[in-house]
Amino acid sequence: MIPDEGCDVYQEVKGVYEVELNDRGILSVKFNVYTFRIHAANGLDEQRSLTFNLETGKVYRLYDLFKRHSNYKSVLTRMIQEQIEDRDIPLVKEFDGIDDYEEFYLTENALVIYFQEIEFTPHYIGIPEFPIPYSQIKNLVREDGPIARFINRNL
């Protein structure tokens, strides 16, 4: 997450991480790097995350969480669009939907999909996060995937 141009062009570079989930053999960690360019008016946050199986070392992508041939992308897109409307989140460009490689992390109760700062929203919004409760997607998740380990406990 270190900027390609190196750190010399920045007045400040700060990195932090947060363990969002560490249970039942699944670890989900969120990383944030804040950069503030020299002579810039505003800093910029970038967020990434990793979710993996502690037993096998497998790193999960969004598509790994759901059954093959399920309509999870359209379901999650609809849920995110509803949250955008319900939370009255302003957009700088239209949100068309998610893809198989969308960024996410897991918590005890929800899949959280997020987008980078200024990707869809104005700078002042920051990094918009969209929690999707497991109870709302339980019929779409893979039985051998990480979310299945938490569904019965959270319903």
- CATH number listed for the domain at residues 10-154: 3.90.640.20
Judge contact between 122 and 136, C-beta under 8 A.
no
| Residue 51 confidence (pLDDT) | 98
Question: CA–CA separation, 91 vs 64, rounded Å?
Answer: 29
Selection from 34, 67, 47 nearest residue 140 by Cα:
67
For residues 27-54, average pLDDT: 90
Q: Where along the chain do its domains lie? A: 10-154
Question: CA–CA separation, 137 vs 106, rounded Å?
Answer: 13
Judge contact between 98 and 76, C-beta under 8 A.
yes
| Continuous H helices in 29-126 | 72-86
Choice between 120 and 155, residue whose per-residue pLDDT is larger: 120
Q: Tens digits of per-residue pLDDT, 72-121?
A: 999 999 999 999 999 999 999 999 999 999 999 999 999 999 999 999 99
| Residue 2 confidence (pLDDT) | 66
For the entire predicted model, the pTM comes to 0.91
